[in-house]
Chain A
Amino acid sequence: MDDVVTRVARRVAEVLARSPAEVKPESRLMTDLGAESLDLVELMFLLEQEFGIRLSREDLSLSAQLGLTEEELRSGEVLSPKAVALLRERFPAAGDVLHEGVTRRELAALLTVEEIARSVRNRLAAPGA
């Protein structure tokens, strides 16, 4: 594990009261580790402290990062084929989640420790982070 992933995993374990061994880079926060909304808010806060950055909800919201409007994102109740295609490009290893007809809520399964570390790295690299 690289340093950022290790540090994120440690904070995830702390917020969810898990042993560090239970939290792996590929662990899915909401579906594997059972994180709820306030857990995510606490985690964002701790990561801001840990890395000296400022995260917004968008940093953890995968749909917001695709750069699609609300209309483009959905097709009726499920994600639009365009959104699914973009997500598959972005998450090549998440074929099991990104099936045809995936719903917005199911995207929660994409939020992994690794993905959060990636957002943190992006913030660290951004000017003014």
Chain B
Amino acid sequence: MRPGERRAPALARGTLHLWTVRIALDPRAVDDSLGRLTRAERAWAARLGSPGARARFVAARRALRALLGAYLGLEPTRVRLEEGPHGKPALRARRGARPLHFSVSHSGGLAVLAFSADGPVGVDVERLRPMPNALRLAERYLTRRERARVRWARGPAARSRAFLEAWTAKEALLKATGDGLAALGRAEVVRARPRGPLEGLVDGESRWRIHRIAPAPGLVGAVAVPRTT
């Protein structure tokens, strides 16, 4: 189903909805999407000199509005969005309405949108690609525990994949907390016990659950939600 085609299913507590949307690069599709955004969003799109960045923004924002509108029973352009302290978009609080949390990521021609009624959510996806510096990037930006799998991976392809998996887990966590990359050094994604679930720690405290996702062939990613147990 395409976002906006019909009403999205109700978002029950304890569930997480993930949507994938293909990002159309041809100018006609971009123009069509532009017509479904707000004036401020169109102005921002006009500032995006990179055709790829513009296509990603308009496709993801159009889908976000369509889906939020469907969940809330509103016209997509009437959905009121605002920016959090570090630029993370959020739904403007509405009196009496239950909160709806979301996060958006895109890579490799696909946007992924995550929705939850339980609490903040963060999603991140990356296209699987050769990362010649995977090991050194892991040493610089991941913790010792996070980079163990990168270090032990055999061969460049496995190493690149292990790095992108670890990186998307960490970025999903930072997007859920709303702190963004500024908090890179305070966040860690680990398994509390072997084969146990992935947990997201901020300043050493475990408050988040991380799930790996594979929304399409050639993409790796993760989504972070508040821990319930």
Q: Which of B47, B52, B89, B171 has the most CB of A within 10 A?
A: B47
Q: Which of B83, B89, B107, B181 contacts A41 (CB 8 A)?
A: B181
A104 touches B83 (CB 8 A): yes
Chain B 130-159, CB-CB to A under 8 Å as 1, else 0, gives 000100110011000000000000000000
A32 touches B50 (CB 8 A): yes
- B160 to nearest A CB, angstroms? 12
CB nearest to B140 among chain A residues: A45
Q: Is A4 an interface residue (CB 8 A)?
A: no
A37 touches B87 (CB 8 A): no
Total A-B pairs in contact (CB under 8 Å)?
A: 59
Known: A33-B50, A106-B44. A42 touches B83 (CB 8 A): no
7 smallest CB-CB distances across A and B, nearest first, come from A34-B50, A32-B49, A34-B53, A105-B87, A104-B87, A34-B52, A77-B82
Q: B residues within 8 Å of A by Cβ?
A: 44, 47-50, 52-53, 56, 82-83, 85-87, 89, 107, 126, 133, 136-137, 140-141, 167, 171, 181-182, 184
Q: A residues within 8 Å of B by Cβ?
A: 28, 30-34, 36-38, 40-42, 45-46, 48, 57-58, 61, 64, 70, 74, 77, 96-97, 103-106, 108-109
Some 17 contacts from A to B, beta carbons below 8 A apart, are A28-B49, A31-B48, A34-B53, A34-B56, A42-B133, A42-B137, A46-B133, A57-B182, A57-B184, A61-B182, A64-B182, A74-B85, A77-B83, A104-B85, A105-B44, A106-B44, A106-B47
